[in-house]
């Protein structure tokens, strides 16, 4: 039986940990993807996930008046990912774990290395977008979120969200062209 987010939020606010765990299970992969796009490191991203869900739980009553749990959670995920990156940059540089943690995932090692390099380049470019463009593109491309949800997460109209999405894409393209590695 599938309970919608609103019911699970109400149940959580009424004291049910089980309901909150269902919400965590529902969104853990999405939050992980957002966190990974910043941390680029599996364990780091899992740590961000934990922080995101704990903080969301503690502030859950702030969405009592309505609004989408998912959009609200995405805002927290981006904020916590930025915080994590600020707090851990030194350690990532020291250990070189930033790029090494994800094992190559193709049958052919050379192709896997190329794919990994492309992925790193894209994540670099994603990191150079402004926060709203980054948030919009992450929601659209990592979760296939509809414009309505993206607009809600960004706190703007759908028209503005479309504009942010397109400008983000155009900037990604410009970065790819200027680096001479258009993929």
DSSP 53-87: HHHHHHTGGGGTT---HHHHHHHHHHHHHHHHHHH
Nearer to another protein, 60 or 82 (CB): 60
Q: Record the tokens describing residue 175, joined without a space.
A: 């970065």
Question: Which residues make Cβ contacts (< 8 Å) with residue 125, sequence separation at least 6?
Answer: 171, 172, 175, 176, 179
Dihedral sign, Cα of residue 156, residue 76, residue 7, residue 4? positive
Q: Record the tokens describing residue 24, joined without a space.
A: 């965590």
Q: Record the tokens describing residue 99, joined without a space.
A: 């790029």
Nearer to another protein, 28 or 68 (CB): 28
Unique residue bearing structure tokens 């509809």: 146
Q: Taking the complex as a whole, how short is the minimal distance between the CB of residue 135 and another protein, in angstroms?
A: 14
Q: Taking the complex as a whole, how short is the minimal distance between the CB of residue 88 and another protein, in angstroms?
A: 7
- Compute the distance between CA of residue 44 and CA of residue 97 in angstroms, rounded to an integer: 10
Q: Taking the complex as a whole, how short is the minimal distance between the CB of residue 132 and another protein, in angstroms?
A: 16
Nearer to another protein, 104 or 155 (CB): 104
Nearer to another protein, 70 or 140 (CB): 140
Which residues of the shown chain bind another protein in the complex (CB under 8 A)? 1, 3, 7, 11, 16-22, 24-25, 28-29, 32-33, 36-37, 41-44, 46-47, 49-51, 53-54, 57-58, 88, 91, 94-97, 102-103, 105, 115, 118-119, 122-123, 126, 137, 140-144, 146-147, 162, 165-167, 169-174, 176-177, 182-183
Q: Taking the complex as a whole, how short is the minimal distance between the CB of residue 170 and another protein, in angstroms?
A: 4
Nearer to another protein, 115 or 156 (CB): 115
């Amino acid at each position: 039986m599938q309970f919608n987010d609103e019911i699970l939020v109400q149940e959580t606010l009424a004291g049910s940990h089980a309901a909150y765990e269902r919400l965590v299970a529902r969104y853990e992969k999405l939050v992980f993807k957002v966190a990974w796009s910043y941390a680029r490191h599996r364990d780091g991203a899992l740590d961000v996930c934990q922080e995101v869900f704990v903080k969301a739980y503690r502030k859950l009553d702030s969405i009592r008046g309505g609004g989408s749990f998912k959009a609200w959670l995405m805002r927290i995920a981006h904020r916590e990912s930025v915080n994590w990156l600020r707090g851990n940059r030194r350690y990532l540089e020291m250990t070189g774990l930033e790029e090494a943690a994800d094992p190559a995932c193709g049958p052919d090692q050379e192709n896997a290395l190329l794919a990994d390099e492309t992925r790193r380049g894209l994540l670099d470019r994603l990191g150079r977008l402004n926060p709203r463009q980054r948030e919009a593109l992450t929601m659209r491309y990592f979760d296939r979120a509809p414009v309505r949800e993206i607009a809600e997460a960004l706190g703007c109209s759908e028209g503005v969200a479309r504009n942010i999405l397109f400008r983000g894409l155009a900037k990604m393209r410009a970065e790819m062209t200027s680096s001479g590695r258009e993929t």
